[in-house]
Structure 1
């Protein structure tokens, strides 16, 4: 299976995956709309991600929702890696129609084409980029009840500065544990809902049409090459752009909220294992570092490595739709296909900072994104 279509393949993960697959002898086709939010105003001239792949792949510019374009892109492909999607939890809470049309509609169209034109295509596997966002809050252990899955936090509590999750009938603090693939699915954002829907459609439809599905639930992916101009996704990029513009960092809540940050090279390796390994077929896997890191730690580490005088402002502000904690249990992916992350957070941050220091300073659009959320009552 040497011919691979990567939808959204000019993005951060997709372009890195494409380059690694090319090294391994694959023939790559990319379908991507070169979104302005990710690639800038003149992407074909200025987007580093696009430029890194444009002469090495068959590139098709357009939307995943364009039936004719997608039909043509699928011709001759052995594998589809489906990255094309709108991303970002905060933005999804008001750009609802667009997120639904692209994420759910694009995936539905992909499957519709393959299901109704079986003789025209010989796609053998689809790898879907799912997300940790489908879990909502992570998995917790209660002394009284055992494992529990808290619902979205209540504004009235967060307004008082109480940011930790609670669970009905439990009075003692909950203990955060790693979220495994059997954990409850209860997304707290429109983005999470669309990723859940994408995953479910792929895992449900593909086996009925002779295609092996693989779902990879990525945690927070970071590393050299990620967009520094998109104020809606990636706190490492957002914080770095603020620092480079000489501004202070606004940390939401109390700074103790945590995420699982996984380095881009590890994500690419996990994805290739999903493509190449038959043991991955019909399986769902977490892809992360397996380690929770607090947001305040991220901010402090970036300031240290940038040798910056920027200050950290722990604001107590919060965004509706954000979770408190989540980190991946990697037991299944290690046992089934042999994936173990190789890059620690400390090492990965050094690689990322070294790369950012070589880039042109990007315009800070963070305040614009905050204003948008405030206007819609999503930022408190």
Structure 2
């Protein structure tokens, strides 16, 4: 396989993947809509787009448009399907947009592959840790359990930890395995689950090998610093650079698995190149949970800019408490080992941010949107 189509290939993950595939001798085509939320009003000034411009065959188009797919699919051997609307909070009130792009775009791709001539032999789809909802826990009474969504009744009283019916003792957080219960708590998570199911179900009937990667929280140099809807590292960095205070939701102990962009690219290429990946879904993360308060304090230290940090007790409906990846499967089947610790990755990220223009801080606008929809408390 030499010709690779990357949908969303001008985005953060896609552009980094494209550049590494080019170095490995692949011919890369990118299909991307250059959405203003990611690239700004003038895409020609977008660093992400600029990094691949004139290096790949670029198709300016949308995954919801058949003609754009048909143009991009010409002579392709494999597809890495990254194009999607991202962000759990925004997905809860832009429901049609998320479902049309994420589910509709994926179903259109599969419809074309089913009903037209092509030479595609593998499809790699970007899934998400959001499909799991809350992570996996150990209960003293019941063993491994999967708590349902936290209720407003408890969170409004400042009680943010997950609970399980009939278990009075606190639950112990453990890594989420690929065979864990799938029960997304956001529209975004639902759409990513459906994307994955569509690809894993349809592709084998066409003789196409499917692979799904359930990415944890991806970060690194190059990610958008102006998009207030995804990525707390970017959101917090832009707040700090503008000397604005940071509002840490809940009690600050909520945690995520932050995985560096180079590790994500390496895992994705392994999925493309290794037959052992065919037909499988894999977690991609570090296997380490880092709490949000630690993230805020680390960024302030790295930038050397003192801003107030308020642990506010605010919360968003649809947010999860904890989730970090168990990496046993990807290590065993693909030989993948994350090379970037949070400490090492955050140094690279903050060094890069220090070279960038300070972006307009639109965080408060995003909060007001959620407030008007009743999702921010």
Normalized against structure 2, the TM-score is what?
1.00
For residues 59-98 of structure 1, the aligned pairs below 5 Å read 59-98=58-97
Matched, 1:173 2:170: yes
| One of 243, 248, 265 as aligned partner of 1:246 | 243
Number of the residue aligned with 1:369: 366
Root-mean-square deviation (Å): 0.4
Task: Tell me the number of residue pairs that the alignment of Structure 1 and Structure 2 aligns.
Answer: 377
Corresponding residue SS for 1:55:
coil
Matched, 1:191 2:188: yes
Matched, 1:21 2:21: yes
Corresponding residue SS for 1:229:
coil
1:283 Cα shift? 0.5
Corresponding residue SS for 1:250:
strand
CA distance, structure 1, for counterparts of residue 275 and residue 299 of structure 2: 39
CA distance, structure 1, for counterparts of residue 338 and residue 29 of structure 2: 27
CA distance, structure 1, for counterparts of residue 27 and residue 291 of structure 2: 40
Deviations 1:223-277 (A, max 9, x none): 0000000000000000000000001111000000000000000000000000000
CA distance, structure 1, for counterparts of residue 218 and residue 286 of structure 2: 10
Corresponding residue SS for 1:97:
helix
1:156 Cα shift? 1.1
1:52 Cα shift? 0.3
1:89 Cα shift? 0.1
CA distance, structure 1, for counterparts of residue 43 and residue 248 of structure 2: 31
Number of the residue aligned with 1:360: 357
CA distance, structure 1, for counterparts of residue 50 and residue 263 of structure 2: 22
Number of the residue aligned with 2:32: 32
For residues 228-377 of structure 1, the aligned pairs below 5 Å read 228-377=225-374
1:75 Cα shift? 1.2
CA distance, structure 2, for counterparts of residue 234 and residue 2 of structure 1: 32
1:371 Cα shift? 0.1
Number of the residue aligned with 1:220: 217
CA distance, structure 2, for counterparts of residue 377 and residue 43 of structure 1: 33
1:55 Cα shift? 1.0
Structure 1, unmatched stretches of 5+, are: none
Normalized against structure 1, the TM-score is what?
0.99
